[in-house]
Amino acid sequence: MPLPTKPDSLEHPHDAAHWFARMQSGEVTEQDRKVFEAWRSADPEHDRQYRNLDYIWQATLKLPEQRLRSMMMTPNTAGKPPHHDTSRRRFGLGLAGACAMAVIGGVAIMAGGSQQQPDTLTLSTQKGERRQARLPDGSRVFLNTDTIAVMQFYEDRRQIELQHGEVFFEVSTDASRPFIVDTGLGRVTVTGTRFNVRRDAHAMHVSVASGSVRVQTGQWWNPRTRPLTAGQQTHIGSDQRPGSTRHTNVDDVVAWMRGKVVFNNAPLAYVIDEMNRYLDMPARLEAPQLAQFHVSGIFSLDDPHAMINALPAIAPVRLERTPDGRLSIQSR
């Protein structure tokens, strides 16, 4: 297949690589679409080049992310200042280069190829269960309740997929093999540190106990990056936009490792949601007017039912068991 564009043409502000990068950026306006369609219909060659790029892009999606990253990383020419360019333009250049190298080099477009098969380890816990394990690289992980984590160890990286739940990581230092935790909403990259990652249904939370981490969201070729250091925390919602960075008491965040849960002036609705993480039959707050009633306390996770039964001592509520066995929390 002929390459979609000549290298020189990539400098033109309205070539196929420019438009492909813009249309893939996720930040396209209606005006962008109109100008793009006008460019594409102005010349059959424009349409052919764009379709070629799209074809090659779909093929490169089968490549491992690290392989594509290395293909797109080229050192800046010595003595030349970097171009002041938009991220989408930079991606257009990098994309064209990566696609060209993929075609010219014949790199593992076909599934499988010669890619190293990683050592894979899956760890999980049931509701109310906690466990710890030592990984093949010497790192230690601590799993909180209702957690599934799939861990893959490659020659050049350590890749963790946290499907749901909460894990505290003590990462052994290895600068040549980054330790990457991916939750689907964002990624945390470190080389050696101690940090906590929690993945709920609609958000992820990252807290750093020591060292530093890099939190990324968005596509790998156009990420939003946020560094965190010891004592800092951030969260990422379902829109994959990082929340603000704030200082937190990490000892309280990871009190679950000591079999405790700590609430400091927390809304009652939040407290009940937290307790439900450990209960086999969830409790339900039937008094919405008390959702923002603030409570404090330290509870043992070793007896989740005693934890929920203690609520009437710290909040104006009463507990009732429904016929189906669920716990109803009502105003008293």
Q: Is the pLDDT of residue 83 over 80?
A: no
pLDDT at position 277: 95
d(CA 265, CA 71): 50
pLDDT at position 32: 80
d(CA 137, CA 132): 15
pTM value > 0.85? no
Q: Two tokens at 224?
A: 């939003």
d(CA 159, CA 116): 13
Domains (range + CATH), the chain: 7-105 (no CATH), 119-251 (2.60.120.1440), 259-331 (3.55.50.30)
d(CA 30, CA 202): 29
pLDDT at position 221: 59
pLDDT at position 55: 65
Q: Is the pLDDT of residue 166 over 70?
A: yes
Q: Is the pLDDT of residue 125 over 90?
A: yes
Residue-wise pLDDT for 30-45, tens only, equals 888 888 888 888 887 7
d(CA 98, CA 65): 12
Using pLDDT thresholds of 50, 70 and 90, give the confidence band for residue 64. Answer: low
**Mean pLDDT (the chain, rounded):** 81
The total number of residues shown for the chain amounts to 332
Q: Is the pLDDT of residue 203 over 70?
A: yes
182: which strand partners?
Answer: 161, 187
| Helices 16-24/44-60 angle, 10° precision | 50
Using pLDDT thresholds of 50, 70 and 90, give the confidence band for residue 66. Answer: low
Q: Is the pLDDT of residue 49 over 90?
A: no
pLDDT at position 78: 42
Tokens 């002929």, located at residue: 2
Residue-wise pLDDT for 258-285, tens only, equals 999 999 999 999 999 999 999 988 999 9
